[in-house]
Chains A and B, each alone.
Chain A
């Protein structure tokens, strides 16, 4: 009897283990997809909700990265949505550095309904005939049928540039929820006023300002270079100080009219070297999350960054007075450049397309969107009124804002490390703690990488 009991127990344990193993792969049968409107003028009326929208206890999954303002605003809008519809929302917030991985994983298994596109060249940098570059990720997603065409929904008409920039192949595959500038610097207004410093209008004035700040014992600038990507924004701003026509710059490099060692390129490398020298010591070891705190507490007078950091700065010290100006060029009048930030889309394979569309409708209401812009500091992509002074200043300063170099640049796939992102990688210079002594050496190394990549492409 006792022996039989042991046998029985052993069989149960083995069976449980096997079931556990094979159970992992079990997948519910996908319900029929919700009807998606195809015509912009006459949206299809969806009389029946999707199969899972009422029966499922799963919340609507909205995914974005961890920007304080975005998370705060989306939480507020989601709460309103739940109040109105009774549908629960799970806001999935992922750190910027892990976002690409988690986003791709969730999209692969259909575990997200509303998502923010990953990457900084969203609906930009598409393949062109003059550059043999890879398809950008957004284009792969859309071509692969992973993003839903939103052009048939009524609420899409609320948007101005927010929808038009996401047009592709006759459809609208996302909403750019705001534009941001990232070729400028935040500055400490109080510190500037106390010391009689003025916002510089030319590169020379900027260098003089940095010298003056340095003389007071304060670091002129700080930057979260430890996370790699924050530094890659800086070359874009330095390139704009030399020539604002960045599209022609990039095309010139691909067609051979320009090189990384020509006069303009060398000037960029030299300015990057100067720029690095005014950063606080060890800035390539500071994490991106640390930098705003250092700026707010007065460890540095300026911080080159994107305007999406407004919410983080306000959170760090609501009383802190700050402004934002473009890195000035050789001559006066260099404008801000930037990109479209958080771009929301609906997963085409979502089981809750109707709920996702309802959520987007709530988000697209002008009154909700105004709150979103005030919290995030994004330049609106919908025609709205705002009372927020920083936002009003930003809107005025960003009229006709062009896309920055790094958001439209195309790099050959086989490229070496000196062509990373912009091809003007000042982080390798000695002045940033890197291994390359001079600007001219870095230019030569970059050009060598470019030539090798072109050779690999058979050019």
Chain B
């Protein structure tokens, strides 16, 4: 039987060889061309455009005769009176990104481990429920939370029963943490799915061997499972950090351009498209472009640091 299958494969293989045309290396280029064109058109050119516009005073209003400003926008961001506002926005960005990343990764990992256990029943149902917010989209989730934490909402009703109340989104001390909660709740499903995929590829033989050697569940998890999913942890970390440094959608849906939740990315969007028409810099797209370049460098720095740490950890 074994010999017969080898013959069949061999015979089929010869037939295929005859039928294949000679390999043309330019065919690869032709294959990637449509994707490459789309990438250049919707990603590379706008990015270069943003960089170019950051040296101008271009405004959102049509009819404006814009001029080349050199480094004036960057000088203004770093040294002039509104640089304090940018520092505040940067602090909020770091609080938001840091908390969401840590909480989201931790929670997603815990849930993935639990849903990977053999004895848990109805795993697919739980996975579906946790992943549901991603399918609903950021607008639906944002609006749901906006109502949930509104001053007549269910959380307020509970607080009133306890004899207290809150301004929720209007509270400068609380609003950013509510956003952290919303963002984590919204994104945890996608991170969990990536962790699940990694956990399902963890070598069972190694776990079994460790168990035979007398390792307990925690030791197996910490010494066997975690080292095998290190690359996945870093992929998730990187995605979280990059995504949250650039996050503005959930902020726009819940609190709009309110100062208490203005992160750098939200500030860029708000200024470039006059979301807050009362801001002295509303509509200054050249200035907003310079701010976006600043975010780009922040993302780049964080990416390089994470890649460096990942390489060191993997080497160890």
Contact = CB atoms under 8 A, between A and B. Distances in A.
Nearest to B38: A21
A285 interface: yes
Given A18-B34, A119-B277, A281 B151 contact: yes
Contacts of B85: 416-417
A21 B37 contact: yes
Contacts of A435: 172
Contacts of A411: 280
A108 B257 CA distance: 24
Contact of A416 (B84, B166, B282): B84
A143 B12 CA distance: 75
Contacts, number: 143
- The contact size tier of chain A is 35 or more
Contacts of A285: 149-151, 167-171
The interface residues of chain A, by DSSP majority, are classed as helix
B172 A228 contact: no
Interface string B148-173: 01110000000000000111111110
A100 interface: yes
A412 B258 CA distance: 21
Nearest to A121: B277
Most B CB within 10 A of own CB, among A101, A143, A226: A226
B167 A284 contact: yes
A1 to B, nearest CB: 14
A144 B278 contact: no
Nearest to B175: A285
B258 A100 contact: no
A144 B62 contact: yes
Interface string A405-425: 000000111111101110000
A458 B280 CA distance: 18
Interface stretch (A83-91, A246-254, A448-456): A448-456
Contact of A141 (B63, B257, B277, B278): B63
A420 B279 contact: yes
A296 to B, nearest CB: 14
Contacts of A281: 151, 165, 167
A414 B81 contact: yes
Interface stretch (B47-55, B213-221, B268-276, B303-311): B268-276
A137 interface: yes
B61 A141 contact: yes
A282 B166 contact: yes
B34 A100 contact: no
B170 A415 contact: no
Residue of B61, B168, B283 with most chain A CB atoms under a 10 A cut-off: B61
A226 B256 contact: yes
A433 interface: yes
B41 interface: yes
B151 A286 contact: yes
Nearest to B146: A287
Q: What is the predominant secondary structure among interface residues of chain B facing chain A?
A: loop
A453 B240 CA distance: 37
Nearest to B19: A3
Nearest to B75: A456
A453 to B, nearest CB: 5
B256 A227 contact: yes
A417 B60 contact: no
A120 B38 CA distance: 40
Given A281-B165, A285-B171, A137 B283 contact: yes
A144 B63 contact: yes
A432 B172 CA distance: 9
B226 to A, nearest CB: 41
A256 B63 CA distance: 33
A100 B284 CA distance: 13
Interface string A59-72: 00000000000000
A416 B170 contact: no
A140 B63 contact: yes
A80 to B, nearest CB: 31
Contacts of A107: 62
A146 interface: yes
B181 to A, nearest CB: 15
Interface string B255-268: 11111100000000
B80 interface: yes
Given A17-B34, A140-B63, A420 B278 contact: yes
A283 interface: yes
A430 to B, nearest CB: 9
Contacts of A104: 60-62, 274, 283
Interface string A202-227: 00000000000000000000000111
Contacts of A417: 82, 85, 259, 279
Give the 3 A-B residue pairs with the shortest CB-CB distance, closest first: A144-B63, A284-B170, A285-B170
Interface of B: 34, 37-38, 41, 59-65, 76, 80-82, 84-85, 149-151, 165-172, 255-260, 273-284
Interface of A: 14, 17-18, 21, 97-98, 100-101, 104, 107-108, 118-120, 137, 140-146, 225-229, 232, 280-286, 290, 411-417, 419-421, 427-428, 432-435, 448-449, 452-453, 455-456
Given A101-B274, A140-B64, A416-B84, 9 more contacts: A97-B256, A118-B274, A143-B63, A229-B276, A232-B278, A282-B165, A427-B259, A432-B170, A452-B81
